[in-house]
Structure 1
Amino acid sequence: MTDPLYLERLKQLSTRLVSLQKPIRILDAIKWPQGIEQRFREQQGRELPALGADFYQQQKLGFEPDTVSQLLKELKSDVRRQLGRDDALGKILQATIDQYQIVIELLRYRGTGQFGHFSRQLYGSASDNLRGDRKTLRQMGERLCHIFSLPAVEHLNRPYTNHISSEEAVTILRARMTDYFGAGEVRVQISDDIVSDASAGGDCIKVNRRASFSELDLQVLEVHEGWVHIGTTLNGREQPWATWLSVGSPRITAIQEGMAVLLETLTFSSFPQRARRISDRVVAVDLAEQGADFCQVYRHFIDRGVSEHDSYRVTQRVFRGGTLTGGSVFTKDISYVKGFVENVNFIRSAIQSGVPEVIPMLFVGKVTLDDLPLLYERHLEGVIAAPKYLPPMFKNLNGLYVWFGFSSGMSVMNIARVQQHFSKLFDKMPTPAPQAADTDAEID
């Protein structure tokens, strides 16, 4: 495996893929123009957003689909020929190439009934079962929505106001990225062309000029966009041979977004309103997949007490790129809950199976869980470099081991009986007045 000719071939093929995928930007290709939300809310959410059937066809892609598709086909053939049909790393590379072929088809069919078909191929469906379990993502999403909507949430005070301007947020985040990554490694800049309040791509965090933030929002941005999304990109770029680990096809989305949410949790940066919003996304995808139109999904969340702005945002995320009448929608937003559950189960299983050393490989680049055992094996052989940038709890696994160890041990308890026991104590307590909670920034 360490044959110099093999390694050089691996690097050349990887670099070709990195170059070919560069102009393929899914979110840019399906984003909506500014002003749609205001017009929709002025109509009290009774009329579908004013996006004609030809809207997406007028939005030019940054590449020529037929040309890039053919080049990807040739690259896949070269991977098989130069690395061998049975080469394990070659198979991961081929699977990534296949994903980009499907992405091209997804973008060809923006605004049509076929869009949802290709989205489900890439990201899955809300009706899918969780890995190793009979529960569906929709069931999990509903359960989490219930938990994060319990009366107790209203009694949690969140004393964080959105007093930080976009310019101040950029200054603060630049300093934090320098502390974590070193000087000059990560760019943080103002943006006028993103829909969410902040997003990350490559080695750059973009902050929406129109947004304002709380201190807690910036903590979420630091770990979600910085430690996870940018950290894994830079770790992938550090790879001497497998350079494709620096780019993320949809096959790695669930692990990326799930890990970002997990890091929010482990650093105590998240809060119930944000967790509820992430859980709502699964429900929104399922409703839209089942045929509910934009107005019906929006109204579903309004009726559940979600604000007009947040109801619009969760609905818009699902319908971008698809059909406003439902059925054919963008299913990416199941990735946050799906990835969180699968990452937690992976870490717990790695600990219980006696192989905790594989856990830091989650940050080696843009990966799937199925990739990790092989990548760890190749790491031991010197082909895959260890992740350079690791969150502190993944550098020293002792605390993580104990945290997940206790969690696993307590999972055998009957929570219903435990809750029944303590509820007798709680019934005697006075009921305090609920505390008002602020809304948080929309992070993609």
Structure 2
Amino acid sequence: MTEANQGKPKISQGLIEFDSEFFDITKTINILSAVNPTNFDQQKKTFFDSHFSIEPEFTYDGSKLDVFATKRKLLNLPLENVVDEDLSEIYFDTINSYLDKVDQFNSIGTNDFIYDSLRYFGEPTQKDIGNAKFILHLPGNLNEENEEVLKFEEIKQILVDFAEVNELPYNLKIEENMIANALVSGNTIKLNKNAKLSISDTNALAQHEIGVHLVTTLNARKQPLRILEIGNPLNTMTQEGLAILSEYLSDNLTIKRLKILALRVVAVQSMIKEKSFRKSFLLLKEEYGASNDIAFAVCSRIYRGGGFVKDYLYMQGFHKMLNAYENEPNFDLLFTGKTSIDYLPQITNLIEKGILQKPQYVSTIFKQPESLSEIKQYIAHAIK
């Protein structure tokens, strides 16, 4: 045994089996994919044709879990096989979070989904609303395009080039019925065939989806355990915050993009209060000047599944990740997998103990950020 390996804990077979069993139970619970409507384009046309008078009725693929059986499997996991305190805490909290996720997954498309979503993600605070209104009152036309819109093949090529230059293994899948312009599921980049993006938007998308979401997936898969592929509880704020931070550091976070993130916060608050797609849509149009397309896209993200509130966390996450980037010495360890900053102390300890590994991939933009204007820096740091 070399000196470097002395004292490093051995990962027991019991722990590996526990971890694998946990992963097998959770691997089919993919809420982000499940809430993607199967009739988005058709409902958008119907809504516009009705002059915004008919509430959209989104449909979903209908996958369901046996709630009782799944929860029983989660509760029967032999947590006693996890002897390390840091690891045990992460597993315990993650199991509990998945007990809520099971309810959330099964209520997609029902009136209960919004309540399950609120229980899991929480709701915007007054500080969140204040941040959103600050951004929305900044100068600049929300609907103005300062750059030429790229063709689909150009968008695809930028994303492919980004992944290949950074030597990131990936699959690419073209989708025709997505709300988002792109998203990463596992190591698959799903790209919306109808995406309409400028060069800045596309570069931001590459940093966001590939430079963060794909990177953290790949790093999680390099770990000896799959717990960081399963993901820390409530990792959305950290993961999306890192993704927005990557847009900012690469100088691709435009005022328009910030305003769209702010609209999501306002739309979540409206949904909780009004529970009416039409009223939220008209609020974004009439009070904040959003175009029909932007208002519909934002509201569709918020109302999908029956009320998916997670989008208010992007701006809060950006604030927290910017602060961590500037002040946290172990910031890079957030890329170890689907981490939450709340568990960074435990993850740091587990890496020091040799149970987890440092991230293999970290996007270069976090090491070599672009030079940002004082105005952009001021706006970013004004978000509290």
TM bucket by the smaller chain? 0.7 to 0.9
SS for the counterpart of 1:321 is: helix
2:134 is aligned with 1:143: yes
Alignment of 1:81-120 (within 5 A): 81-84=80-83, 87-120=85-118
Contact persistence 1:30–1:320 (CA under 8 A): yes
Contact persistence 1:232–1:364 (CA under 8 A): yes
Structure 2: 5+ residue runs without aligned partners?
Answer: 1-6
- Which residue does the alignment assign to 2:331? 359
Contact persistence 2:9–2:354 (CA under 8 A): no
Shift of 1:246: 1.9
Shift of 1:181: 2.6
- Which residue does the alignment assign to 1:181? 167
Give RMSD over aligned pairs. 2.9
1:204-246 deviations in Å (ceiling 9; x for gaps): 1111223343322321121100010010010111112x32212
Tell me which stretches of 4 or more aligned residues in structure 1 moved more than 4 Å: 154-159
- Which residue does the alignment assign to 2:185? 201
Relative distance call for 1:186 and 1:155 in structure 2 (3 A) is closer
Relative distance call for 1:181 and 1:213 in structure 2 (3 A) is same
Contact persistence 1:277–1:314 (CA under 8 A): yes
Relative distance call for 1:306 and 1:288 in structure 2 (3 A) is same
Q: CA separation in 2, counterparts of 1:154 and 1:311? A: 14
- Which residue does the alignment assign to 1:44? 51
Shift of 1:20: 1.8
Contact persistence 1:228–1:256 (CA under 8 A): yes
2:235 is aligned with 1:252: yes
Structure 1: 5+ residue runs without aligned partners?
Answer: 128-134, 323-328, 351-355, 413-444
2:23 is aligned with 1:18: yes
Relative distance call for 1:116 and 1:156 in structure 2 (3 A) is closer
- Which residue does the alignment assign to 1:415? none
Normalising to structure 1: TM-score of the pair? Answer: 0.76
Normalising to structure 2: TM-score of the pair? Answer: 0.87
Residue range with higher mean Cα deviation, 96-105 or 135-144: 135-144
Q: CA separation in 1, counterparts of 2:207 and 2:230? A: 19
Shift of 1:384: 1.6
1:103-127 deviations in Å (ceiling 9; x for gaps): 1111333344432222122211013
Contact persistence 1:361–1:386 (CA under 8 A): yes
Q: CA separation in 2, counterparts of 1:394 and 1:13? A: 34
Relative distance call for 1:250 and 1:115 in structure 2 (3 A) is farther
Relative distance call for 1:159 and 1:289 in structure 2 (3 A) is closer
Q: Which AA in structure 1 matches 2:150?
A: H
Task: Give aligned-pair identity as a percent.
Answer: 25
Relative distance call for 1:347 and 1:10 in structure 2 (3 A) is farther
Aligned length, in residue pairs:
369
Q: CA separation in 2, counterparts of 1:361 and 1:230? A: 15
Q: CA separation in 2, counterparts of 1:139 and 1:28? A: 31
- Which residue does the alignment assign to 1:419? none
Contact persistence 1:162–1:214 (CA under 8 A): yes
Q: Which AA in structure 2 matches 1:342?
A: K
Shift of 1:72: 1.6
